[in-house]
Structure 1
Amino acid sequence: MASKVIHAIYNDDDILMNAVKAVRNEHYHIEEVYTPFPVHGLDKAMGLAGTRIAITSFMYGLVGLSVAIIMMNFIMIQDWPQNIGGKPSFSYIENMPAFVPIMFEMTVFFAAHLMVITFYMRSKLWPFKKAENPDPRTTDDHFLMAIDAGSHDVEKISKFLKETGAIEISLIENEDDH
């Protein structure tokens, strides 16, 4: 079964923002919006849910802190205790002030690297992945809004999009893989 998607191209980000709000008011489903640069407030105008990326970053930082504590306790206290600068190596608690920089750096290291991996996995950006950009002009100076036509009247939606300021409208029929 084929799905119909309408591509509306705009040449100004302010016009695009107003068009997104108008399309949402008419209760049409916006599949995606492609822009050459980040448009402030577009996610809210599209009605996208907030991100939970800060929670994952905090959890990754806790993993890094835990690894640092376990690593330093094993290396500096249990496996190879050394008397460095007159500091006794009898317990981790006695030496913890000296370990604070290592704990901080490992927390940041784990959070940063695991966040990059999470971003690539969540965005489905794999090595050698083919670009999914429907129109190359959206990487330069145009904005594209993809609207699911579904069971709606395509002519009516197209006329409505022209009224919102679209400079070009095209109907794309995709074959489903199911």
Structure 2
Amino acid sequence: MSSTKFILGLFDDPDELMHGIDKLQKNSVPIYDVYSPMPIHGIEAKLGIKDSRLGYAAFMFGCIGGTVVFTIMYYMLVHDWPMNIGGKPHFAVPDFIPITFEWTVLFTAFGMAFTFFYATHLFPGRTPRVMDLRATDDRFVIAIDAKGNVPHADIDNILKEAGAVEIKHNDRKYVSYE
């Protein structure tokens, strides 16, 4: 049995990459992932990638931030240390809208940064996981899971017909920078 985990088709041009995706999908070859050094418009729809749910996460982080700061201010100004300043109420809501807004933005920004690092496994100090190092520079890569898939020779032929410059059979999942 082959130790190949992934078959990589490397392309020079994004149009050839899109053509390669079409050919693979027409031949019912499931694509593991596509790596590109730049954004390619329309590739999400072609690969069937769903819309991101990060907007919901951002909304929840904002709600948590607004609630936390509003609760802290209410507790401090009404229960913990109420002050009588000129007969004004202890907790006048309009006075605290700016700081509530700022904390909402702060919690959203930090929450989204942590969510991004968690979702992409790009924690600070960790070596990035890439299929081929040239995918970050000048090559467009289609990765196909080789285990239990169409015969490797057929996949190689499809990629060559689509215009792949190079075809690699990886026995490891990721390449490190070291």
TM value normalised by structure 1: 0.86
CA contact (8 A) 2:4 2:169 kept: no
Considering fraction of residues, name the structure with more strand. Answer: 1
Shift of 1:103: 1.2
* Residue equivalent to 2:89: 89
The letter of the residue matching 2:96 is F
Matches within 5 A, 1:95-174: 95-151=92-148, 152-174=150-172
Structure 2 gaps of 5+ residues are 174-178
Q: Deviations over 1:83-142 (max 9, x none)?
A: 56x57133x3xx111111111111111111011101101111223212222322111111
Aligned length: 171
Deviation of residue 31 (structure 1)? 1.3
CA offset at residue 150 of structure 1?
2.7
CA distance in 1 between counterparts of 2:27 and 2:117 reads 34
CA contact (8 A) 1:21 1:46 kept: no
Equivalent residue letter for 1:109: L
Report the equivalent of 1:4.
5
- The 8 Å contact of residues 76 and 89 in structure 1, kept in 2 or not, is answered as no
Counterpart Cα distance in 1 of 2:88 and 2:53: 43
* Correspondence list, 1:15-54, <5 A: 15-54=16-55
Secondary structure (helix, strand or coil) at the match of 2:32 reads strand
Q: Are residues 82 and 141 of structure 1, via their aligned partners in 2, closer, same or farther at CA, if it must alter by over 3 Å?
A: same
* CA apart distance, 1:45: 1.4
Which is further off, 145-154 or 112-121?
A: 145-154
- Comparing 149-158 and 18-27, the one that deviates more: 18-27
What do residues 28-78 of structure 1 show as CA deviations (whole Å, max 9, x unaligned)?
Answer: 121121111222222221112222111111111110111011011122222
Tell me, in whole angstroms, the C-alpha distance in 2 between the residues paired with 1:4 and 1:115: 33
Letter in 2 for 1:168: E
- The alignment partner of 2:123 has SS state of coil
Paired letter, 2:59: F
Which range moves more in the overlay, 10-19 or 152-161? 10-19
SS of 1:30's equivalent in the other structure is coil
Provide the rounded CA distance (Å) in 2 between the counterparts of 1:169 and 1:125. Answer: 27
State the identity as a percent: 36
Which letter does structure 2 place at the counterpart of 1:33? V
Equivalence for 2:59: 58
Aligned-partner Cα distance in 1 for 2:155–2:128: 28
Amino acid at match of 2:39: P
Runs of 4+ with >6 A deviation: none
